[in-house]
Chain A
């Protein structure tokens, strides 16, 4: 168990809908990362938050947004869903401490857009 909690584990929805994925980082970790894993694109970095503020942005679509709350949990919002958004979405967390950075991953949310 990595200590990173993601909910829900599975999500089935229709095109055009909006969903929210939730992540609770390991205790004490300040950084949260979101990744998308699909067969054709592999593991793609979406966005990183550090202590409530956006730190880095990757290949995140404008239809997607994220935030990190004061209690450090994070949410990834996906809107106007398309079939191609079907993927496994991972959250990861890290301490944010220099020289000892390791990312610990949650078990992922499998999103199916029908």
Chain B
């Protein structure tokens, strides 16, 4: 079974600075998808970024980018120019390759606080 590990339970960063959240996963599959979701205090789960394992290029979405290291099974999230609204729980998630269930397997999350 796939597992996702987020080793940083809590992190903090100053506004306008850059922070990186770590995620590792375990799978025997070659093709799969990885995600970062954000859960602010409103508790809504918001998709931040998605990466296909067969793509070598790292995904980016505005201030959010990932460092995907397939061999190391590592998938970190970098947030640039941090804003107060980035304060949230961040969850890393794994999805099986097409053909099976598209369910997400989540890590336990990292609580990020952006300080003014």
Contact = CB atoms under 8 A, between A and B. Distances in A.
Partners in one complex: yes
Interface of A: 2, 31, 33, 42-43, 45, 48, 55-56, 58, 88, 90, 92, 94, 96, 98-99, 101-105, 107-108
A25 to B, nearest CB: 13
Interface of B: 33, 35, 37, 42-47, 50, 52, 91, 95, 98-109
Contact of B43 (A98, A104, A108): A108
Contacts of B33: 101
A32 to B, nearest CB: 11
A99 B95 CA distance: 11
A90 B98 contact: no
Contacts of B52: 99
B22 to A, nearest CB: 17
Classify the interface of chain B: helix, strand, loop or mixed.
strand
B47 A55 contact: no
Given A99-B98, A101-B98, A90 B105 contact: no
A64 to B, nearest CB: 16
B101 A103 contact: no
A60 to B, nearest CB: 12
A101 B99 CA distance: 11
Given A43-B91, A101-B33, A108-B43, A56 B98 contact: no
Contacts of A58: 103
A55 B101 contact: yes
A56 to B, nearest CB: 3
Given A42-B109, A107-B43, A107-B44, A101 B95 contact: yes
Contact of B104 (A2, A45, A99, A108): A45
A49 to B, nearest CB: 11
B99 to A, nearest CB: 8
A102 to B, nearest CB: 6
